[in-house]
A and B are shown apart, each in its own frame.
Chain A
Amino acid sequence: MNTLIQYLQYFLNGVTLGAIYALIALGYTMVYGILKFINFAHGDILMIGAYTGLFTYTALLGESTNAAWMLTSFFIAMLVSMAFCAILGMFIEKIAYKPLRNANRLAPLLSAIGVSFILSNGAAWMFGTQSRRFPYPFDDTPIVIAGLSITPHQILTIVVSIIMMIVLTSFVNRTRMGKAMRATSLDQPTSELMGIDVNKVISMTFAIGSALAAVGGILASFDFRVYASMGTMTGLKAFVAAVIGGIGNIQGAMLGGIILGILESVGAPLLGIPSALRDTIAFATLIIILLVKPDGILGKNEREKV
């Protein structure tokens, strides 16, 4: 019974971690769906989002200890950080990726790596290399239900992620812009001929993806603290999640994120290996899934035509 509860606890922690991965993976998958390139700078946008959120939150809060104001300023900080990252994402796309849209496939990839270097080292330069704690906007005492403990920040993470995913899904499926996005990802030249402003769609994709990364960054900073290179590993894992789910597929990114989070959390104790090897579990899962189903769990199988 005790071990069951313990595993349920790992599972719960995995879901929380997975929700963060899923939010970040959405940005990767949307950009890949439309531009067919891996945006390696996405992980660093997450880090910028976490820093923006942290600074806005501490500035708004000041000396106040009012519980309601703490929560309000946290959400304001989140919105500010989303807006800032959305603008940053669009700006990066204009400067570093747009001129390379017709170049060979490696050029935008390397350009993205360059942007990633600029962002992460710029942050290390400006904010120092020491890590900072993101203060909880509420009392973070774990709530124990039937032996399972869940902290308020885990609840917040799951709730915010679910809201974001619902908003995104309805945006992509219900609005005109969402329809334009889906059309562009299916066939770019044709949608251009049908009167869709592809440049606007691509800008919008980067804006939404970066805003989601900002939320993911803020939520991740409760568990991982805020530092300049926080985006590298988290971003890489989120990308793995996007590939596991089937890259280019929005539901796939959500599913992949949750699966990866759970596997990472449950896998090490289940296999009886040290928890430091959790990264190995994540990447081994990726390779196994790619070998069994090369297009990911929900990906479409595209045959190469001659």
Chain B
Amino acid sequence: MLNFFQLIIIYAGIYALMAIGQNCITGNTGMLSLCHAGFFCIGSYATGIICKTLGLSFWLSLPVAAICSAVVGFLIGVPTLRLKGDYLCIATLGLGEIIRNIATNMNPVGLMSIPRAELFGYQFSSRNKVTFILLVWFFVLVAYILFRQLSHSRIGRAMTAVREDEVAAQSNGINVAKYKIGAFTLGAAIGGTAGCFATAYTLTVQPSSYTFMVSVMVLCMVVLGGMGNLLGVIVGAFIIEFIQYFPQLVGLSSVIPAQATQIIYGLCLVVLMIWRPQGILGRDKYRYGDPRSAKERLVSFFRRGEKKGGKA
């Protein structure tokens, strides 16, 4: 059980990284994108190729994966800028599928037995989960701090302005195209790094695992947690990974079939959306400088939950 709990923490960390990237695109800038599986795939392949084929260090693959994904994100961002809302969602969905389709076609088996990541002679093996948790969550923390600072900076506010009203943002002198492409590139880069850790943990790269469902799952984490709220996004990643591994965690994986987990997952999505469409930690309307203290906000958060609980 402890074993599975550690597994959940590792996967929650990997997906939290992806969700932070998705949040930058969808939560902060308001672009509905569904190709994070594609970025994840590129990052995984970058690590796989660098560590296995070229025999170089895992640490080198991190920036390379980030740069590769960022370049793809940039290339996707530029032409699809003209598209809005659901059209953007469909175009990016198509691009994600194209990336997977091409990867499958080049080599349907993928890469196997990739060498482990190493730090000062210490090997990060999947058997020793605690060190892996530290490794992944260290990077989640770094990404959290970076993106938190970003969203409170001038750039972050410009991105929010683009999300809230593109025309108004443009008339206030914000270069909408620049921020949209920038958000796409940044989000893609983080998605790519998440792919590195997934490869370093499983030591395999299988093109069949980067389906459209992965993108959907990452989007769910962002929306469930509360769009634009970084902490919420990480909570969302935890919840979804927890649901995925729940039967193994309580040792009932032989009793509960795999499909039941997915059904519970689907039910959770529907119920949570009906109960709190803005996400668990989401706000009704985005506003700056909440004058209330953290305690007051916490109290009002739980009060609101009580009041709205029966309204669904």
Contact = CB atoms under 8 A, between A and B. Distances in A.
A148 interface: no
B79 interface: yes
A209 B292 CA distance: 48
A125 B263 CA distance: 10
Nearest to A37: B86
B83 to A, nearest CB: 6
A100 B276 CA distance: 10
A129 to B, nearest CB: 9
Given A104-B278, A291-B82, A294-B87, A110 B269 contact: yes
Interface string A82-105: 000000000000011001100111
A282 B93 CA distance: 12
A121 B266 contact: yes
A166 B144 CA distance: 55
Interface string B114-154: 00000000000000000000000000000000000000000
B201 to A, nearest CB: 25
Interface of B: 32, 79-80, 82-87, 89-91, 93-95, 97-98, 101-102, 104-105, 167, 212, 216, 219-220, 223-224, 227, 257, 259-260, 262-263, 265-270, 273-274, 277-278, 312
30 contacts: A96-B270, A100-B273, A105-B85, A106-B223, A107-B278, A108-B273, A110-B219, A114-B269, A114-B273, A116-B266, A118-B263, A120-B262, A243-B87, A274-B105, A277-B102, A279-B97, A280-B97, A280-B101, A282-B94, A283-B98, A283-B101, A284-B94, A286-B90, A286-B91, A287-B95, A290-B90, A291-B80, A294-B82, A294-B83, A294-B84
Nearest to A108: B273
Given A114-B266, A283-B97, A304-B167, 7 more contacts: A95-B270, A96-B274, A117-B265, A243-B87, A243-B90, A283-B98, A306-B167
A284 B265 CA distance: 31
B223 A110 contact: yes
Main secondary structure of the interface of A (DSSP, over half): helix
A247 B90 CA distance: 11
Given A103-B277, A111-B273, A113-B216, A118 B267 contact: yes
A103 B312 CA distance: 12
A282 to B, nearest CB: 8
Nearest to B82: A294
A125 B259 contact: yes
Contact of B262 (A96, A105, A121, A243): A121
Interface of A: 32, 36-38, 95-96, 99-100, 103-108, 110-111, 113-118, 120-122, 124-125, 232, 236, 239-240, 243, 247, 274, 276-277, 279-280, 282-284, 286-287, 290-291, 294, 304, 306
B86 A110 contact: no
Given A38-B89, A117-B265, A306-B167, A240 B105 contact: no
Contacts of A125: 257, 259-260, 263
A124 B312 CA distance: 30
Contacts of A107: 223, 273, 277-278
A121 to B, nearest CB: 4
Contacts of A111: 269-270, 273-274
B186 to A, nearest CB: 20
B269 A117 contact: yes
Contacts of B32: 106
A240 B90 contact: yes
The 9 A-B residue pairs with the shortest CB-CB distance, nearest first, are A114-B269, A117-B266, A283-B94, A103-B277, A107-B277, A118-B266, A121-B262, A121-B259, A125-B259
